[in-house]
Structures are given as structure tokens and as C-alpha cells.
Structure 1
Amino acid sequence: MSNVIRIQCRCGEVEMEVENPPIMSTECLCNSCRTAAGAMEALPGAPRLREATGGTRTEMYRKDRVRCLKGAANLREFRLTETTKTRRVVAVCCNTPMFLDFTDGHWVDLYGPLWPEGTLPPLQMRTMTGDLDDPSALPNDVPNLKGHSAGFFVRLIGAWAAMGFRRPKIDYVRGVLDVRY
């Protein structure tokens, strides 16, 4: 049985809803996610995004289970390179990081700090720990994967199959954010 969670930016101008459960709950420690998180945190008034480990906590959802209810006009994207398929989306009304969109994929990663108190699903794994100088400093509370495991990909493919192998587009993000990093 699924239930709906509403998430919003810090000021409440952007509101989204997601249908639970997520595909998985992860914390990414890749160089790209850590670089992008630092850039988003440096925006004026932006909330903290990185965890104590330096990683970014995300809830992975099928794109067909994520909707923007209000404030889409405040959403802007930025990409670390001109050719990357990955875009990060920020609510510019208050500079809240909202999600990471794999534009050719069937899923979206919504940032963990958006969840209302007590509703964030438990962390299941850390990924891309091989990008860290010293991954031995990470806590052992969940698996700390050097890259992505076979189980990670099985879950993604299972979610895609459940969607009929469709790849919906998130087409309500229209503007570009000039981010320095």
C-alpha cells in the first residue's frame, strides 16, 4: 500500500508530492555529488545539504511517482558540465536543493533534507565511497559500497520494469541557474 508524502522548499513556495515507497534510500559520496552539494550550499541562504560524511542523502523515486504541486516557476537546473545527463534542481525562491534528475533515466533522486521530521525512510546504503580519500572513516551502520552493487541495479531495473520500461520526462523545470563551483 502506498502513501503520499508532501515535501517543500524551505519557504514553502515549491511543493511536491511523492508516492511511497522509494526505490531505495541512499547517500552518494561521488565527486560530482559532493562538488554539486558544495555549490548549492554556497547559494545565499541555502540550507545544508551534505551529511556529516560529506555525502548527499537522497530518496530514489520512479519519475511517474513524483509531482510538482506548486511553484514550478521557481525551479532552476544546473549541470556540472555542458554535456552531462545529470541535472540538479534548486528552488530559487529560497535556494533549496530539490532533486537530481538523470534526464535519460526513469528515476529522480529527491534530497533527504526535504522530508518532514520523522518521515525520512531509513538509509539503506552509501554509494561511490571509492571516490573518498579515506572511506575507512565512514560509519558501518549500512553497507558502504565502493561503486554501485548488483543489488542497486536490480532495484533500478525492477522499478523500470514496473513502469513498463517508460522514461517519463520531468518537464516542469524550465530555467537555468548560474552556479559557481
Structure 2
Amino acid sequence: MQMPSHQSLACACGQVRLAITCRPIASVECCCDSCRRAGTQLQSMPGAPQVLGPQGQTHFVMQRKDRVRIEAGQSLLHAFRLSSRGGSRRVLAGCCNTPLFLEFSGGHWLSLYGLLWPASERPAVEMRTMVSDLPDPSALPDDVPNLKTRSLRFYARLMKAWIAMGFRSPRIDVAGDAHG
């Protein structure tokens, strides 16, 4: 399915809205231990949507930071971290506990939660990563590549996007959370 060049996304209650432009870097399901642990905690929050798929995978649509704009609800963003020393944060809409994106410290992309798209418009998964972290990777369907870790193709896409951005990494400010 061809993704529109401009798209609006929102949290479950609609108070936080994001606008994205252009095609994503990739659409992946992550099976790593930290995404599964975070997904379990995030989806247990009051009113939060289901984050994890049936085998514990999290669908992410990876987008360049310079192609994501917060249109409304900036003050409602909350950071969720698995560890105070961790190099990543998950950002959610504090109004309804909808996970919005995963951001790596210094990263030039955002991993937007696939659950933000209506099912009929959600970008199709192209690959699964970190399947070696699953208790039983054989339970995954074989509809896309199931990668034990991450592939050269995965890193090449990230590098291509970073080059296109002039090696910049825009900041996204979240109230009460220092992250650079």
C-alpha cells in the first residue's frame, strides 16, 4: 500500500496530534527484550491501547525526525523510561496514555508506534528485528524476514536518512525530561 505524502496521526482521545510527511524509513516489528518489557508496562496503564502483538512484537514506523511535527498537545507529552540510565525514551500522550514514539538519545529518527494508524492505513511490516530475544522465535509467521538482530539493510536505511538530513538530529522537547 502506498502511504500518502502527508498524514495526520493522533492519540486515542485526539488531544495530541502529529503530522508526518514523506515515506517512512522502514516499517518493522521489534521483538527485543526492552520493547517487550516496555510494551507490557505501557499497555497496562489506564486507558492505554494494546501495544504488543501476539508474539510480543511491537510495530514501529520509523520516520526521520525532520518529517514529524507535533501539531497539538506538546504540553501533554510524557517520557517513559525503563531505566534512568537508558539511552532511549518512549513518549506517550499523558491525556490517554497512548504511546506515540520511541526515541534514541542522539538519534535522527523516531520509531512511531504503528498503533497510531487506523488498521486500513497502517504501513505494512517489512521485517522483524531482534527475534533472537523471543522465548520461541519459531512462533512468528514467515511473511517477512525474521532477523535475529538487525540487518545491514536496516542500518543502511538509517544511514541514508541521516545523510539526507545533513547529519542533523533535531531535538524533541518533552516537559520535565532532558534528552538530547
TM range (shorter): over 0.9
What's the counterpart of residue 174 of structure 1?
175
What's the counterpart of residue 110 of structure 1?
112
User: Partner letter of residue 153 of structure 2?
Assistant: G
1:53 matches 2:55: yes
Q: Distance in 2 between matches of 1:54 and 1:84?
A: 21
1:126-141 pair list within 5 angstroms: 126-141=128-143
Match among 79, 82, 96 for residue 80 of structure 1: 82
Which deviations, in whole Å up to 9, do the C-alpha atoms of 1:89-122 show, x marking residues without a partner? 1101111111101121100000001013422111
Q: Distance in 1 between matches of 2:88 and 2:130?
A: 16
1:160 matches 2:158: no
Q: Is the Cα contact below 8 Å between 1:17 and 1:66 reproduced in 2? A: yes
User: Partner letter of residue 144 of structure 2?
Assistant: V
TM-score (norm 1): 0.93
Which deviations, in whole Å up to 9, do the C-alpha atoms of 1:23-73 show, x marking residues without a partner? 000000000000001110010111111112211000000000001000011
Q: Distance in 1 between matches of 2:88 and 2:150?
A: 17
Structure 2: gaps of 5 or more residues: none
TM-score (norm 2): 0.94
Match among 87, 99, 102 for residue 101 of structure 2: 99
Give, in angstroms, the shift of residue 2 of structure 1: 6.6
SS at match of 1:46: coil
Structure 1: gaps of 5 or more residues: 177-181
What's the counterpart of residue 43 of structure 1?
45
Dislocated runs of 4+, deviation >2 Å: none
